[in-house]
Amino acid sequence: MFQTFVNGPINIIRSCVHFRRKDLRGQWYLWLAVRRWGLLLLMGGAMPWAAQAGEPRVIIYPLAELNTQAQAFYPVRLLEEALARSGAHYRARASGVSMLQGRALRQLEEAQGIDVMWSMTSVAREAKLLPIRIPIYKGLISWRLFLIHESQAVRFNQIKDLASLKQRVAGQVHDWPDKQILQANGFSVYGSSTYGSLFRMLAQKRIDYFPRSLIEIWDEAAQHQAAGLMVEPSFLIRYPSASYFFVRRGDHALAEALSQGLEMMIQDGSFDRLFMEFHGNLIKKAAIEDLVIFDLDNPTLPPKTPLNRKELWFRE
């Protein structure tokens, strides 16, 4: 296609040389050549140029499950702001159907209708996808409070040290990096196949607690208050980790646009302002200064995590 496209004008010129103006055969050949080259121009050249100058590229992110859509307001807003700041011709839109994280990750990797998503990082995920290494939650995604059943509050109040906490059974989704992190630190963890089932198991007291980010747990506690679930008020576990925007490994243009837009937001302070707009009250509500904090190791942390960039991380 490309070779024909390039040679089209040359063939037309040759036609003009070999056939005189009054030669009907020559005129017919020349008309066919012009017509053929014009169609190739339309298909092979004009359409991409029109796409660049016209409608933006639509970037599809996975629609969150119904009970987690409120948690998606911030990353979607951040995604839109970063794309706008980059100056690139993109427009973000949710997928037509909601999907679990595991399915979204597979569809992103396989170019099956997902262009970008946000998720907690790990060595395995960075091997399959291209991360934009700016932690969108400033590291707070791995500061975990405990969702418990209200009948277990007295038992948790009796916990005095990390060894006692490890005797309780935590719940996590089986393919979340958190499950591997907790197990590597000696915790007893039950791996569920779905996020929603963990709340039912907690209500039925089949697990003792569900560690959740301090920026996620309050909405979840409110949603499941009728089932007797509450936020345990005494403990917090934390480990170094980050949630990033991820794109397909070959989509370097989108990765560059997101990186450029996020860096611009960091430089002018709008990143932190947006973060605090969504999470400032939740951080205050957690009363971190009053909690017993247990720091854990994270063996799944990729070596390129930008821990040295202090401006990217939340500080007490």
Report pLDDT digits (tens) over 201-225.
999 999 999 999 999 999 999 999 9
Q: What is the DSSP letter of 265?
A: H
Considering only 22-31, 195-204, 294-303, which range has the smallest mean pLDDT?
A: 22-31
Contacts of 154 (CB under 8 A, 6+ apart): none
**7 pLDDT exceeds 90?**
no
C-alpha dihedral sign at 112, 117, 119, 123: positive
**26 pLDDT exceeds 60?**
no
**27 pLDDT exceeds 80?**
no
Q: Which residue has the tokens 């989509």?
A: 251
Q: How far apart (Å, rounded) are the C-alpha atoms in residues 118 and 121? A: 9
pLDDT at site 124: 93
How far the first Cα of the chain sits from its last, in Å, is 60
Rounded to the nearest integer, the mean pLDDT of the chain is 85
Amino acid at 18: H
pLDDT at site 69: 60
Q: Which residues of 282-301 are buried (b: 16+ CB within 10 A; e: fewer)?
A: bbeebebeebeebebebebb
139-187 pLDDT, tens digit each: 999 999 999 999 999 999 999 899 999 999 999 999 899 999 999 999 9
Instruction: Kindly report the CATH number that applies to the domain delimited by 57-136+243-279.
Output: 3.40.190.10
Considering only 51-55, 59-63, 64-68, 177-181, which range has the smallest mean pLDDT?
A: 51-55
Band (pLDDT 50/70/90 cuts) for residue 239 is very high
Which helix (H) or strand (E) segment holds residue 253: the answer is helix 252-268
Q: Which residues of 107-116 are buried (b: 16+ CB within 10 A; e: fewer)?
A: bbeeeeebbb
82-123 pLDDT, tens digit each: 999 999 999 999 999 998 889 999 999 999 999 999 999 999
Band (pLDDT 50/70/90 cuts) for residue 46 is very low
Q: What is the DSSP letter of 170?
A: E
Q: How far apart (Å, rounded) are the C-alpha atoms in residues 250 and 109? A: 10
**39 pLDDT exceeds 60?**
no
Q: How far apart (Å, rounded) are the C-alpha atoms in residues 299 and 255? A: 26
Token reading at 182: 């907790």
Bigger pLDDT: 314 vs 316 = 314
**52 pLDDT exceeds 70?**
no
Q: What share of the chain is helix, strand, coil (3-state, %, to 5)?
A: 55, 20, 30
Bigger pLDDT: 313 vs 53 = 313
Helix axes 24-40, 2-18, angle to 10 degrees: 160
275-309 pLDDT, tens digit each: 999 999 999 999 999 999 999 999 999 999 999 99
Q: How far apart (Å, rounded) are the C-alpha atoms in residues 29 and 52? A: 34
Band (pLDDT 50/70/90 cuts) for residue 65 is confident
**253 pLDDT exceeds 80?**
yes
Three-state DSSP string of 66-111: HHHHHHHHHHHHHHHHHHHHHCCCEEEEEEEEECCHHHHHHHHHCC
As a whole number, mean pLDDT of residues 67-80 equals 83
DSSP letters spanning 240-253 = ---EEEEE-TT-HH
